[in-house]
Structure 1
Amino acid sequence: MTGFGDALRVREFRALWLAEGLSVCGDQVARVALALVVFARTNSAALTALTYALTFVPAVLGGVLLSGLADRYPRRAVVVATDVVRGLLAAAMAVPGLPLWLLWGLIGVLTLASAPFKAAQLALLPDVLPGPLFQAGMGLRQITIQAVQVAGFGAGGVLVTATGPALALLVNAATFLTSAAVVVAFVRPRPAARATKTAGLPAQAGPVLVAVYGFAALIGFLVVPEGLAAPYAASAGIGSAGVGILMAADPVGSVLGGWWAAKTASRPRAAPRSVAVPAALAGLPLLVCPLLPGPWWAAGFWALSGGLSTVYLIRLQAAVADLVPDARRGTVMGRLATCLSSSQGVAIVGAGVLAEQVGPATAVAVSGALATLTALSAAAVWRAGARQPAPA
């Protein structure tokens, strides 16, 4: 069995892990600062929400259009270049009195640049962590991101209150530039993947990739409880402390799931069963939500769902690393990450509309059922695609 310590012994992984942690923390600090800047200048909730959305939405477009840069150019160079660009853009946002239209433009471009960064980083990790170490590293990465996001929001609030938003934005810029320096110092350069390998995806991989994106998209159904925690708590008659516990259930489960995925890491050749079983099971704790005797039971069941969803996601990424030739890995990994993030927003909005009609507990149950059905359908497509003979 492998563990987090085994992954951390790899110097290049430590560098990539630290670089991403710095970037994520800086992003959270900046989101707090930007929201406060725009609201203070406009007193508009709508414009503040628009500003916050600009820190997410352009990444969808960037994931589709720019992930291929991680295959066309050396991946370390893509990581460093995008970090430097993001650092300069973040520093420019700290200029006092910057027109809002220009501020929004800088935010949009910075968010676009995050897509090739993520694609290059995810494509590098299978080279840095061969075999079962990859799943151990991805488990540690998942736990770290969860923790850093929470810490970044807290630090952002304290920093903005103590020093003002301009300094918080400069701190964000510094995290990007420090991240770039860490990667330059400790990650060795490699040639561009397409310069060394010309193999494309085999014809029979098409259906399998459809299944892979299906598994990625179903994560949206599994994060619905986090989005509906407040109305669920209200319907159950518990206060704001209960909302916090319910919202923390999925991240707590995710931490345990990341640990379990690392402990059970192996190197099967992209076996659909290892992904499909935890993915299908992850929906079942949500499906029984209306039958639970109280909200604290719901927190436990939501944590179980979060743990299973993390296990299947880590195994899915390991399967993609096995299935996809190195020359296409950046493109596929980047689009997979985009699918993961965009599906969450769409599913939570849809579940919110449904909850208005049938109640939050039923909306969570419907989401769980859809997650399980999607997992079973994606597994069937994967198996069918894997059985197709390779072209002569």
Structure 2
Amino acid sequence: MPEQAARFRDVFSVGEFRVLWIAQTQSRIGDQFARVALALLVFDRTSSAALTALVYASTYLPPLLTAPLLAGLADRYSRRTVMVAVELIRAVLIGLMAVPAVPLPLLAVLVVAVSCPDPLFSAARIATLPQVLPGAKYQVGMSIASSTDGIAQIAGFALGGVIVAATGSPHLVLAIDAASFLVSAALLRWGLGPHRPETDGNAAPRREFAFAGIRLVARDRNLMGLAALVWMFGLFVVPEAMAAPYAAEIGAGEAAVGMLMAADVVGMVIGGLLVARLGTDLRRRLTVPLAFAAGLPLVATLLSPGLPVTVGLWALSGLASSYLVLAQVRFVQRVPDGMRARAVGFAAAGLQTAQGLGMATAGALGEAVAPSAAIAACGAAGSVGALVVALAFGLVGRDGTHTPERSQDRAEPSRI
């Protein structure tokens, strides 16, 4: 029998989902507040673009190392407890950063420290969502969460800059971010059940526990393929990093940079909502075609079209990048609950690495060729890479149809 599509109101009627959604949204907005405030604070103290960029990058880099080590805690303990603990830790660290007298070296240490537990919170939240939203509701919930995340990023960047400009105080914005973590912790503690991970009674030894998720993904051809397909997104996100030089190339001016940076995010928000209610079969059939299509509008950037056309092209790329939601849903549903946080943590760390490498690659190419050519090259590489991954890992059969997956999209528990 075909899977019955869930409605948005069916998902929002679940109280625990509303708690997770509200907590994540307001916390995400606070994160963007903090990034704006940190950039302005460091530049104000040092007048150094290099140091400002380094501190900003420090908010993204630590999870690449901590994800494999920390994410497994969400497979050992109550996921509610894990999320609340992480939010309280981050509230304290951000609160210290908000103190005006904190010296710059200590501020840099705090920036790294507050970023370290990010993958633990994300892994616990994503692993909890299938328990909160069983069946068809899960896909809709993931789409809502992904779309809202994009909106929160745009709103956070915009409002953070406005607040700093209006008050002249980056420290106030950091204090608001600290308060957002406290609100999130309170919502999760009193609005969410414990959600302890399911186990099969054969827990891995502690020395192997942290890396069990990596082995699970590496040994499952379909999981590895879905993870690699998600990592291709690192080549589709390069317009955000190249917006400023590209705007200069087409003579659009600095005022156009923000519009260009937001274009693909807006497309992803719309795309996430459009794929929300796709059935299981259509979800499988569209994942690879959308991944391939995400790079094609970027290839058209080679022609250096005017600003309106470029914004439209990048928004189309973002729209097709909604394949991320489809791939992530299939990935999470194939992983046993007791392994979910570790597997998700590994995939998320790979995605973050891919984004960093994609932006760095585009920047390096942009030094040798025109920014438009660099963006087009990355888009082409991403589309070709998506096809190679799909064929290499059996996500698409020779007849053009997706290879059947295991019953209920779930992997058998692996023996570690």
TM-score, normalised to structure 1, is 0.90
- Give the Cα–Cα distance (whole angstroms) in 1 for the partners of residues 308 and 100 of structure 2: 47
- Give the Cα–Cα distance (whole angstroms) in 2 for the partners of residues 195 and 90 of structure 1: 38
Q: How many residues align?
A: 388
Change (3 A) 1:195 1:148: same
Identify which of 262, 268, 277 aligns with 1:248.
262
Deviation for aligned residue 1:258: 0.9
Deviation for aligned residue 1:248: 2.6
- Quote the residue 2:41 is aligned against: 37
The worse-fitting range, judged by mean Cα deviation, of 191-200 and 87-96 is 191-200
Deviation for aligned residue 1:387: 8.4
Root-mean-square deviation (Å): 2.7
Identify which of 318, 322, 325 aligns with 1:314.
325
TM-score, normalised to structure 2, is 0.85
1:141 and 2:145 correspond = yes
1:236 and 2:236 correspond = no
1:209 and 2:223 correspond = yes
Change (3 A) 1:31 1:277: same
1:128 and 2:141 correspond = no
- Give the Cα–Cα distance (whole angstroms) in 1 for the partners of residues 61 and 217 of structure 2: 32
- Quote the residue 2:277 is aligned against: 263
What stretches of structure 1 move > 6 A for 4+ residues in a row?
Answer: 199-204, 384-391
The worse-fitting range, judged by mean Cα deviation, of 231-240 and 209-218 is 231-240
Deviation for aligned residue 1:326: 0.9
Identify which of 283, 296, 302 aligns with 2:314.
302
1:281 and 2:293 correspond = yes
SS of alignment partner, residue 263 of structure 1: coil
SS of alignment partner, residue 321 of structure 2: helix
1:179 and 2:190 correspond = no
Deviation for aligned residue 1:122: 0.7
1:376 and 2:387 correspond = yes
Change (3 A) 1:302 1:188: same
Identify which of 152, 157, 163 aligns with 2:156.
152
- Give the Cα–Cα distance (whole angstroms) in 2 for the partners of residues 245 and 193 of structure 1: 45
Deviation for aligned residue 1:268: 4.9
1:189 and 2:200 correspond = no
- Give the Cα–Cα distance (whole angstroms) in 2 for the partners of residues 293 and 326 of structure 1: 47
SS of alignment partner, residue 383 of structure 1: coil
Equivalent positions of 1:348-363 (< 5 A) are 348-363=359-374
Deviation for aligned residue 1:15: 0.5
Kept after mapping to 1: 8 A contact 2:97/2:107: yes
Deviation for aligned residue 1:194: 3.7
- Give the Cα–Cα distance (whole angstroms) in 1 for the partners of residues 30 and 306 of structure 2: 38
- Quote the residue 1:65 is aligned against: 69
Identity %: 42
Q: Where does the alignment leave 5 or more consecutive residues of structure 2 unmatched?
A: 205-211, 397-402, 407-411
- Give the Cα–Cα distance (whole angstroms) in 2 for the partners of residues 6 and 131 of structure 1: 12
1:49 and 2:53 correspond = yes
- Give the Cα–Cα distance (whole angstroms) in 2 for the partners of residues 377 and 304 of structure 1: 22
Kept after mapping to 2: 8 A contact 1:143/1:258: yes
Q: Where does the alignment leave 5 or more consecutive residues of structure 1 unmatched?
A: none
